[in-house]
Amino acid sequence: MQTPDIVNFTVMATVGVAFLQQQLADDTAARVRQFEQIVGACAAVLQFIGRPRYLDSLFQLWSGLTHSLILMETMLFPEQPVQTSSQLALPRENMPLSHILDDRFQPMAYRIPLALQALAEYTDWFHEKYDEHLHREMAALLDDAMLIFQSIYQILQLRPGGTNPAQPAPDTGGPETNAAVLPDHVAPADPWTT
């Protein structure tokens, strides 16, 4: 890793822990769930498409938020082994973004709208709490990751006869989890449906 990459990674992980710690007693579990939704979608895309340069922001987001979760886990449960995985099984060859239309990605497609909502909330929090100019690399990374997720969402909408990623698969995360509802500003309505 180059020095700027190490600095950006450290900033991302530190800001992520600050997000997870805010109002610790009330909504830590919800914030952890948000990060898990973002990390899960990043991992699904990267493990299916690979790590081409055009997905650098998704990889950096996955890496930074994964390590935020690991740091938080070690702070809350110092005597326990870390449960958060920091491993990615990448394909041998990088694929174009259109590969997301492949039938084999469809079981993971529900992760995209969940990640869009979680990332939108995290990005809003970041812009509210941090100076965009001082942290312009992270602000750009979050904006770029949002554009990639929006692009994937829109590509999935083009899939003929495919599942609608706005209708997530049943959530098996536990009794307290709710299906996400996409805000209007995240993905435009499909003009071809009535």
Q: Which residues contact 17 (CB under 8 A, 6 or more apart)?
A: 68, 71, 72, 75
80, 72 in Cβ contact below 8 A?
A: no
Which two three-digit tokens encode residue 91? 């394909």
68, 119 in Cβ contact below 8 A?
A: no
Q: Which amino acid is at 151?
A: S
pLDDT of residue 102: 93
Q: Which residues contact 55 (CB under 8 A, 6 or more apart)?
A: 45, 46, 49, 148
pLDDT of residue 76: 78
pLDDT of residue 18: 78
Query: What DSSP line would sit under 114-155, residue for residue?
Result: HHHHHHHHHHHHHHHHS-TTTTHHHHHHHHHHHHHHHHHHHH
pLDDT tens, per residue, the chain with 194 residues: 555 556 666 777 777 777 777 755 557 788 889 999 999 999 999 999 999 999 999 999 999 999 888 888 888 788 888 888 888 899 999 999 999 999 999 999 999 999 999 999 999 989 888 887 887 888 999 999 999 999 999 999 988 765 455 554 444 343 343 434 444 444 444 434 43
